[in-house]
Amino acid sequence: MNLKPYAFSILLFIACAPAFGQKSKSGKQIPQQTDRQFWISQLDKMCRPVLRSLAHDSLKIVMPKVVSKRTDNKDFRLKVMYVEVLGRTLSGIAPWLQLEGGDAKEIALRNQYRQWAIQGLTHALDSNSRDFMRFDLGSQQLVDGSYLSYAFIRAPWLWQNLGKKNQDLYVKSILTTRMYRPGFSNWLLFPAMNEAFLCQYGYDWDRMRVDYALRQLEQWYVGDGMYMDGEIFGLDYYNSYVMQPYLATILNVIGKKEKTYAAIAEKVKARNERYAVIQERLINPDGTYPATGRSIVYRGAAFHHLADMAWRQVLPKQLAPAQVRCALTAVIRKTLESPTTYKDGWLTIGLYGSQPDLADNYNNQGSLYICTNIFLPLGLSETDPFWAGPAQKWSSQKIWSGEDFPNEHKVDLR
């Protein structure tokens, strides 16, 4: 008897149903946890220490002072990690904060996080607060200021409820980062995102910073849906961490104001789709994926791009939304299941639990929270096909369970 198909059916069930129906001590059946409920529980576990502490003006007191064991500048990395943790956390949960509706428990939790987010941002922008965050400490502020700008683009609710005083303070902070010259790499997209934020909300924006980034990335397109990160191609996840989601968002925002980049936008759209197909195939049947390249401690952010495509409802036709949901659920389970993933409630440096030797010289406690970007599809309603569709195998499960599967080839998207 061939047990392989049954084994993969079990694996699919486990990946897409993190908690099973059980009986309580009283003998009553405990409802089975849905994928969405599982995602929300993981979001809450990850983000609560960050935003609750900041809302109480105590982030700098309670956040662990952790940097990479091979840090390039410990004092600097500790100073900038607060803008890092704020920008990266909010960039990932922004679509969920923007959403309305859901069951009573989700609505209550979202309202709590909205309150914490506004209170926390108020403290971060108030020079009299313990958690005041400066944006003029060094070029890293350019990076993580852009993630905060990204959050405001993704969640207009955040911006609209921040209040005029805090809006003015934030714009002043972002303008401060213009003093820094970005590295000749994916970093070109960070000032471009800040300018896109200014553009979206009606402020004067620097077209040259946007134009330079878009035209240079076009020069770095290497083929089959992927870009070089600067002048050298690296087999890592920076197409997903930064380049492809940033390009799509910047072009979407700027494209609403002017048609200058319409031709580039069409190319980027096609490349986004191709890279989403590649990303989905990278997810193994058990939720693991190739641990290659720098910044691998960003965990689920390796699939920032795939999550972003799902949230924006622009997945290519080859990828069913429910199929992507199950694949990303497996990634979330795998990357967060180790008992050493958290220490005292805070993420540890590592991919599968605490693995400090995986860190790069720029990693610190704050930088890890970019992994919240895998939660982007929580910005979709529970009735959306992404959540409402029945569980489906993703590509690697189909292939490695012996199913026949369409072949593929590289795609010329120059």
Q: What is the pLDDT of residues 19-47, one digit of tens each?
A: 444 555 566 656 689 999 999 999 999 99
pLDDT at 8: 46
Angle between the 207-219 and 244-255 helix axes, to the nearest 10 degrees? 130
Whether residue 391 is contained in a domain is answered as yes
Q: What residues have CB less than 8 Å from 26, skipping those under 6 apart? A: none
Positive or negative, the CA dihedral 274, 279, 280, 282 is positive
Q: What is the pTM for the complete model shown?
A: 0.93
Whether residue 196 is contained in a domain is answered as yes
Half-sphere exposure of 117 (CA within 13 A, CB side): 30
Identify whether the C-beta of residue 386 lies closer than 8 Å to the C-beta of residue 309.
no
pLDDT at 15: 53
d(CA 228, CA 217): 8
* Residue 236, phi then psi, degrees to nearest 5: -140, -165
pLDDT at 186: 98
Whether residue 25 is contained in a domain is answered as no
d(CA 221, CA 233): 10
Whether residue 120 is contained in a domain is answered as yes
* Residue 221, phi then psi, degrees to nearest 5: -65, 125
Task: Look over the chain and give the mean of its residue pLDDT values, rounded to a whole number.
Answer: 94
Residues of the domain holding 302: 34-400
Half-sphere exposure of 34 (CA within 13 A, CB side): 15
Whether residue 356 is contained in a domain is answered as yes
pLDDT at 242: 98
* Residue 366, phi then psi, degrees to nearest 5: -75, -35
* Residue 227, phi then psi, degrees to nearest 5: -115, 150
Whether residue 342 is contained in a domain is answered as yes
The first and second tokens of residue 131, run together, are 């958690």
d(CA 194, CA 350): 29
CATH number at residue 380: 1.50.10
Q: What residues have CB less than 8 Å from 18, skipping those under 6 apart? A: 33, 35, 38, 329, 333
**In Å, what is the CA distance from 341 to each residue of 41, 45, 359?**
15, 11, 14
Whether residue 19 is contained in a domain is answered as no
Q: Give the count of beta carbons closer than 10 Å to the beta carbon of residue 313.
A: 12
Whether residue 270 is contained in a domain is answered as yes
**CA-wise closest residue to 336 among 351, 349, 324:** 351
Using a 10 angstrom Cβ sphere, with 0-12 exposed, 13-18 middle and 19 or more buried, the burial of residue 388 is middle
Overall domain count for the chain: 1
Residues in the chain: 414
pLDDT at 413: 85
At 7, the amino acid letter reads A
d(CA 353, CA 16): 21
pLDDT in tens, the chain (414 residues): 454 444 444 445 445 654 444 555 566 656 689 999 999 999 999 999 999 999 999 999 999 999 999 999 999 999 999 999 999 999 999 999 999 999 999 999 999 999 999 999 999 999 999 999 999 999 999 999 999 999 999 999 999 999 999 999 999 999 999 999 999 999 999 999 999 999 999 999 999 999 999 999 999 999 999 999 999 999 999 999 999 999 999 999 999 999 999 999 999 999 999 999 999 999 999 999 999 999 999 999 999 999 999 999 999 999 999 999 999 999 999 999 999 999 999 999 999 999 999 999 999 999 999 999 999 999 999 999 999 999 999 999 999 999 999 888 888 888
